[in-house]
């Protein structure tokens, strides 16, 4: 078994940005990059970058820094982006359909292979490359395809029931877009992305900016 890395979440959150810069420098023909350059590009402190990268086990070379190809490979591996995980989406409403159509996940090792809904009017509808399947088929689908990742885009009031059901079928990671805090066993990974809350924060920030600029004027 591989050594467990126990990566701090803030470090994980910076890894996609590191990868982006590394790809840019690779495209420019660079072979090495220093922690200082990476830090400058992202507005971080070099010591932070060095500490983050130390978790991967990669060591920089004196004067030149980190080998870009090697670092890209290891970061992709740590993030699980170097192999493709198949995932299902539960809830074929607007958001679920949008995510089913979004091809961008493939770059991050995620492939949406099933889209489910309990609304009979939606069953059989073509959404991007997927056809909406009835919720009654979720359990079989998970077992047959050995799916471990599910994206939940159902309304808040049914999200916990959906989560309980799919966890009992073997789902190990849930990406929850429903506006509710799901309760899951400690063995299940959970990540929440709440567009409504992001929009609420933006809206209030904008109002505060507008208010203070009016104060400035008068």
Closest CB to a second copy among 61 and 106? 106
Judge contact between 112 and 84, C-beta under 8 A.
no
Under the binding rule (CB under 8 A), the answer on residue 121 touching a second copy is: no
Cβ at position 214, least distance to a second copy in Å: 6
Under the binding rule (CB under 8 A), the answer on residue 94 touching a second copy is: yes
The alpha carbon torsion through 117, 166, 176, 123 (nearest 10 deg) reads: -10
Secondary structure percentages of the chain, helix, strand, coil, to 5: 50, 20, 35
Token match 């849930």: residue? Answer: 174
* Both tokens assigned to 151: 């994206």
Q: Which of 73, 64, 80 is nearest to 19 (CA)?
A: 73
As a whole number of angstroms, the distance between CA 38 and CA 67 comes to 12
Among 32, 105, 111, 134, binds a second copy (CB under 8 A): 105
Among 31, 64, 69, 103, binds a second copy (CB under 8 A): 103
Binding to a second copy, residues 26-55 (CB under 8 A): 42-43
The pattern of x and - marking residues 167 through 186 that bind a second copy according to CB under 8 A reads: -----xx-x---xxx----x
Under the binding rule (CB under 8 A), the answer on residue 98 touching a second copy is: yes
Alpha carbon separation from 42 to 3, 22, 66, 157 (Å, rounded)? 29, 11, 16, 40
Closest CB to a second copy among 64 and 206? 206
3-state secondary structure of 209: helix
Cβ at position 5, least distance to a second copy in Å: 8
Under the binding rule (CB under 8 A), the answer on residue 205 touching a second copy is: yes
Under the binding rule (CB under 8 A), the answer on residue 164 touching a second copy is: no
Binding to a second copy, residues 72-91 (CB under 8 A): 78-81, 85
Closest CB to a second copy among 6 and 126? 6
> How many residues of this chain bind a second copy (CB under 8 A)?
76
Cβ at position 84, least distance to a second copy in Å: 12
Judge contact between 100 and 88, C-beta under 8 A.
no
């Amino acid at each position: 078994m591989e050594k467990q890395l126990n990566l701090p979440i803030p470090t994980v959150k910076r890894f996609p940005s590191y990868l982006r810069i590394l790809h840019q420098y690779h495209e420019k023909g660079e072979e090495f990059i220093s922690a200082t350059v990476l830090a400058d590009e992202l507005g971080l402190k070099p010591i932070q970058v060095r500490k983050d990268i130390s978790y991967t086990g990669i060591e920089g070379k004196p004067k030149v820094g980190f080998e870009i190809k090697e670092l890209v490979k290891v970061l992709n591996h740590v993030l699980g982006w170097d192999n493709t995980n198949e995932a299902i989406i539960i809830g074929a409403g607007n958001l679920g359909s949008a995510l089913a159509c979004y091809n961008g996940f493939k770059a991050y090792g995620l492939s949406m292979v099933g889209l489910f809904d309990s609304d009979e009017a939606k069953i059989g509808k073509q959404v991007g490359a997927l056809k909406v399947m009835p919720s009654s088929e979720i359990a079989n689908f998970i077992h047959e395809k050995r799916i471990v990742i599910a994206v939940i885009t159902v309304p808040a009031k049914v999200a916990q029931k959906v989560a309980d059901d799919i966890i009992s079928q073997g789902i190990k990671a849930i990406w929850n877009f429903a506006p509710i805090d799901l309760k899951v066993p400690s063995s299940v990974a959970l990540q929440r992305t709440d567009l409504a809350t992001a929009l609420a924060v933006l809206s209030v920030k904008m109002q505060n900016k507008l208010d203070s600029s009016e104060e400035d004027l008068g």
